[in-house]
Amino acid sequence: HLQHDTVFASTQSKIVKEDHCADQNINKSTNEQFNSPTLSEDQFEGIHVVEKKLFQFKNDVPQLLNWEEYGLRITVPEGAVPTSQTIEVSITALVGGKFILPEDSELVSVVYTITVSKPLLKPVLLEIQHCVSIETHSHASYLSFVTSSSGCCPFKFQPVDEGSFPVGSRYGSILISEFSSWAIVQTIKGWFKKLRHSRQSVSPQSMEDENPFIQGMICNHLILHSF
């Protein structure tokens, strides 16, 4: 529901938190957006849909979409949204299902399908929470973003060379110009490929102080590992 969403708009050093919207007409409009062809039930047949949500980018100001509960952030720079216009952003969080990943890789994040009502004028910063504890720069080299432009199942993902995975952070970030399906994968090689068959979960200590919902969701639906 929109009343539980938090979208921040910032102008220079001022941060303005939008009022929560409880208007029934807006909620009705939200439901209609998710019933549109871009987010049809057929598109996600055979995939576990965790949540769907509608956000809005308004006016020509820097904005932060922070879907903290599901581990997703989108930073929109000044000039990305045309002046006096509103762009609707539909996001669907997916776990488990018909995903075709690059060879020797596995998901370490939720999969997000993102669509917009109108193109943005500038690239945005996409940040996705993952479940890997990055303690050195070499750990980060095993992670990469993947994207899929498939309109229906199965979703075939391709690796993306760009992206940053800072040491000590559970978020990866990447500048994107096009909205589609995005996720983070971990490459499995050599001895680690064998290890995946004997370890089925991340130790509780490695997930300390992280979003508990994301912890449970990822641990229940993905094969997870620590480096």
Residue that wins the pLDDT comparison between 170 and 30: 170
Check whether 171 has a pLDDT greater than 50. yes
pLDDT digits (tens, 9 = 90+) for 40-78: 555 667 778 899 999 999 888 899 999 999 999 999 999
Beta-bridged to residue 126, according to DSSP, are 74, 174
User: What count of other Cβ atoms lies within 10 Å of the Cβ of residue 152?
Assistant: 12
Check whether 108 has a pLDDT greater than 70. yes
Question: Contact, 113 vs 128, CB < 8 A?
Answer: no
Question: Contact, 128 vs 155, CB < 8 A?
Answer: no
* Residues found in the chain: 227
Check whether 32 has a pLDDT greater than 70. no
pLDDT digits (tens, 9 = 90+) for 125-159: 999 999 999 999 988 999 999 999 876 778 899 99
Give CA–CA dist 206/80, Å, rounded.
37
Going by C-alpha positions, the residue among 50, 224, 49 that lies closest to residue 143 is 224
Rg (CA), the chain: 18
Q: Domain coordinates of the chain in residue numbers?
A: 2-221
pLDDT at site 95: 87
Pick the CATH number of 2-221 from 2.60.220.30, 1.10.10.10, 1.10.1060.10, 2.170.150.70: 2.60.220.30
Beta-bridged to residue 175, according to DSSP, are 125
Where on the phi/psi map is residue 12: left (φ > 0), alpha (ψ -120 to 50), or beta?
Answer: left
pLDDT at site 41: 54
Residue indicated by tokens 């720069």: 137
Query: Average pLDDT in the 98-103 region?
Result: 90
Check whether 196 has a pLDDT greater than 70. no
